[in-house]
A and B are shown apart, each in its own frame.
Chain A
Amino acid sequence: MDDFYRELIIERYKSPRFQGTLDPHDFSYEDDNPACGDHIQIDVRLNEEGEVTEALFSGQGCAISQASADLLLESIIGKNIEEIKSLDKDDVLENLGIELGPVRLKCALLPLKVLKAGVYGLGDGNPLE
């Protein structure tokens, strides 16, 4: 148990370092997991070279989804669009450092889903609208 809810995850859930919103932003996207109510919005600012200078998330949900968001955004500061597009499930799992079953995997991947949707030029948006 202490393995699953590593100090890292609890810490980032209770005291996230990348929480908030950005205005103005270069892209912003939000989505949720209707099965459990995890909700993530991600706002990102880029410099002229297309690299991430700031990224913040807001939302609510389980410890896995929120900690995953916090760790994900920490990892993309300084990355460019192409590098973000190539992020995948393994990167998320590496951030978290634990193994996940299919249900919790969905929680962990929600932030990545939101980030990639934003990056792929959907601009400001929410697929639910």
Chain B
Amino acid sequence: MASNGASSFENGLIRDDFPILKREVHPGVPLIYLDSAATSQKPLPVIEVMSQYYRDYNANIHRGIHALAEEATAAYENARQRIAAFVRAPSPEELIFTRNTTESINLVANTWGRKYLQADDMILLTMMEHHSNLVPWQLLADQLDLRLEFIPVTSQGLLDLDEYQRLLKLGPKLVSITHMSNVLGTINPLEEILPAAKEAGAVTLVDGAQSVPHFPVNLSQLQADFYAFSAHKMLGPTGIGALYGRRELLEDMPPFLGGGEMIKRVELRKFTPNDLPHKFEAGTPAIAEAIGFGAAVDYLTQIGMDEIEKHEKKITGYALEKLSLIQDLEILGPGIEERGGVISFFIQDIHAHDVAQILDSVGIAVRAGHHCAQPLHDHYNLSATSRASFYLYNTEDEVDRLVEGIAKVKSIFA
């Protein structure tokens, strides 16, 4: 398996670990996958470890005394430990397995939110949020009569930090913000934003769906009370994600879903909840997926998140350079300094769907639409954009193909 630094990005050893990258998507047309922001491809170790669980030691976890149950439990809890260590969470008990980032945020909204928020309290979000960090708060605001305010986005795709300071003075109870925008690519300066929120007395939540997969994240340093991310965007399977929560908060929050595993003792009319993290993990979990999640984190660790970040910066910088030369094509978001490997763009007079369709015909997978960020698109007065996103297995060659593909789009619609 590829594991030695920069060269493995170039010599194709990493790509060899991802069998899907060898396939053709139309006869004679090889896949060029530029949609990792939607979901990442999976390396063989991740794919195999999940089948192996089902083949060799499948059993329900936590309760069983027999050998299979012990093996399965060890694998599941060991995965949790490795994932917690990957994001430098202070302890594994603070890392709750959920279905995905969306469920993680809903968990906070429905437990912490319901317990601590009351009518007229304010939640501070941003205009660049993904729907999963907007809608749960809209639902809650509706039910509890809360106010929602939004940090605006500048024309360069950065958060307006002066406005942020002003909005903080209004005393939000919660500041909930994305670490990296899945549309603009903007990496928000959380080292400034979170301490300011804490000082203003707010609880902080971060949507880490696009950050944890692409650059090192250190939850022991970041002042995030809650941090959510998904396995499937970081080489892991779908159906599993994580919520990191500060211990004191998690201990104080009521349970989310009720059922088995999250209890200590149950009588007819009452129960006592289990300790962390199990309090928030009701029912039989996605055991194979958790183990796959652990394998994904191992793979990333072995390559090194610093190396991955460097590689993506290189590819993204190259792509920005090449794409900005194309006439009538406009790129959303900031320059390479403030952004990660996501590039959303539009071409004058050519609809994003048509761009994506033609790119697909030459094997290039991009996304077209609003990317679950309708308010952001409304803000820029755009109905839809096309989005190319990069990950550790992409190459500069693929960027060249993208540029050629766009030329083809333009020639068809000329």
Contacts and interface: CB of A to CB of B under 8 A. Distances in A.
Contact of A10 (B357, B370, B374, B413): B413
Contacts of A63: 351, 353-354, 413
Contact of B412 (A5, A35, A62, A64): A5
A97 to B, nearest CB: 15
A34 B368 CA distance: 13
Contacts of B374: 34
B353 A4 contact: no
A34 B131 CA distance: 14
B285 interface: no
Interface string B358-391: 1001100000111000100000001110000000
B352 interface: yes
A36 B412 contact: no
Interface in A82-117: 103-104, 107
Contacts of B351: 36-38, 61-63
A36 B361 contact: no
A97 B99 CA distance: 41
* Chain B interface category by residue count: 10 to 19
Contact of A36 (B352, B358, B413): B352
B383 A1 contact: no
Nearest to B412: A5
A1 B370 contact: no
Which of B351, B358, B369 counts the most chain A CB atoms within 10 A?
B351
A104 B357 CA distance: 9
A13 B353 CA distance: 14
A121 B339 CA distance: 51
Interface string B397-414: 000000000001000110
Which of A35, A62, A64 counts the most chain B CB atoms within 10 A?
A62
A37 B354 contact: no
Interface in A33-59: 34-38
B361 A104 contact: no
Given A10-B412, A10-B413, A36 B353 contact: yes
A4 B278 CA distance: 52
Interface string B319-355: 0000000000000000000000000000000011110
Interface string B2-33: 00000000000000000000000000000000
B361 A64 contact: no
* Chain A interface category by residue count: 10 to 19
Nearest to A107: B353
Contacts of A34: 374
Interface string A5-30: 10000100110000000000000000
Which of B353, B374, B412 counts the most chain A CB atoms within 10 A?
B353
Contacts of B368: 36
A35 B370 contact: yes
Nearest to B408: A1
Contact of B358 (A5, A37, A60, A107): A5
A85 to B, nearest CB: 28
Nearest to B362: A1
Contacts of A35: 369-370
A101 B383 CA distance: 21
A19 to B, nearest CB: 15
A60 B353 CA distance: 13
Nearest to B370: A35
A1 B352 contact: no
Contacts of B408: 1
A47 to B, nearest CB: 35
A53 B412 CA distance: 33
Given A1-B362, A61-B351, A36 B369 contact: yes
B383 A37 contact: yes
B362 A36 contact: no
Contact of A1 (B353, B361, B382): B361
Given A62-B354, A104-B353, A37 B413 contact: no
B408 to A, nearest CB: 8
Interface in A60-90: 60-64
B332 to A, nearest CB: 15
A30 to B, nearest CB: 15
Question: Closest 6 CB pairs between A and B?
Answer: A37-B383, A1-B361, A62-B351, A62-B353, A36-B384, A63-B354
Given A35-B369, A37-B382, A62-B351, 13 more contacts: A1-B361, A1-B408, A5-B354, A5-B412, A10-B413, A13-B413, A14-B413, A35-B370, A36-B384, A61-B351, A63-B351, A64-B353, A103-B353
